[in-house]
Structure 1
Amino acid sequence: MAIIYQNDGWDYRGRGMKQLTGRYNYRVFTQYSSKVWGESLDFEEQPELVSSSIKASSAFCVVFLGWAWLYKKADGGLTRAASEAITDVVNSGTDSRTL
């Protein structure tokens, strides 16, 4: 995740139900929501919209499912393996199974 401007870390911190993080991801979400839903909101220019709009926050959750192919992993059923496959994507870079 590239920091382009000094405040990028703060400006593009995790927001919304899925914690959208990083300038690049805010830009891609803007492009995707414009293409799919016809939204004219610019999340890169106004990152606070992700957390102030239930619609935007929910939409990103749906987008993330597609980006990460999580729906295919979820089709594994109610099994530990399916749950761990999703956890590995959502919580990548952490030991999320340790309390």
Structure 2
Amino acid sequence: MPITVQQLLQILPNAGQVAGVFVPVLNAAMSRYQIIGLKRVAAFIAQVGHESSQLMHLVESLSYSADALRKTWPSRFDMELASATARKPEQIANIAYGNRMGNSTPGDGWKYRGRGLIQITGKNNYRACGEALGLDLIAQPELLEKPQHACMSAAWFWATNGLNTLADAGKFEAITQRINGGQNGSADRQALYARALKVLA
């Protein structure tokens, strides 16, 4: 059951003109990774819709205030560091993501920050995703900002993390947990999910 432009816009009205660009590549990605049937498609569209601000952002901005830094990464940013780096995305990325997820070289945190519809983050994840999609994402991480690769990487992440099974069981919060590591934005995700179920039914 491929999704239409009209359906996508009913679920993600802010997508506007990019909806037409995304529909064919979303359908191709969902088909390749068995994201089929009402429950899977609705959960997938809701989650990628939230993660990408309704398809408007394919790369993590990281322009955090000091307060937001302390809330998001309490173990990485103390009061002083948060104040010193607030609204400096490159420095924030290198502190938040440095020396983990395979990021071993200075600058890797920024180079391998979240990209695609489900924010693939960290050199290890870029490598695994690139191998699955036949792309050299280590040399060209920005490929995940192109709509077809943004969709395919999200569907790859979805399938690799067993999210079809959770979607079939209606375990939407567990999907959020696996994508986000917490329940950030859960009200928006739930609202998009409810709308997607209604539109696609």
TM-score of Structure 1 vs Structure 2, range by shorter chain: 0.7 to 0.9
1:46 is matched with 140
Q: How far 1:3 sits from its partner (Å)?
A: 2.3
Aligned length: 87
Q: How far 1:65 sits from its partner (Å)?
A: 1.2
In the TM superposition, structure 1's runs of 4+ consecutive aligned residues that sit over 6 Å from their partners are none
> Could you say which structure has the greater relative contact order, defined with CA pairs below 8 angstroms and 6 or more residues apart?
2
TM-score with structure 2 length normalisation?
Answer: 0.41
Cα gap change, 1:71 to 1:27, in 2 (>3 Å): same
- Is residue 74 of structure 1 aligned with residue 167 of structure 2? yes
Select which of 150, 154, 174 maps to 1:61: 154
Question: SS of the residue aligned with 1:31?
Answer: helix
Mind listing any 5+ residue stretches in structure 1 that lack a counterpart?
A: 35-40
Mind listing any 5+ residue stretches in structure 2 that lack a counterpart?
A: 1-100, 189-201
Larger Rg: 2
Over aligned residues, Cα RMSD in angstroms? 1.7
Select which of 149, 152, 177 maps to 1:88: 177
Select which of 1, 15, 18 maps to 2:118: 18
Q: Name the structure with the higher helix share.
A: 2
1:38 is matched with none
Q: How far 1:27 sits from its partner (Å)?
A: 0.7
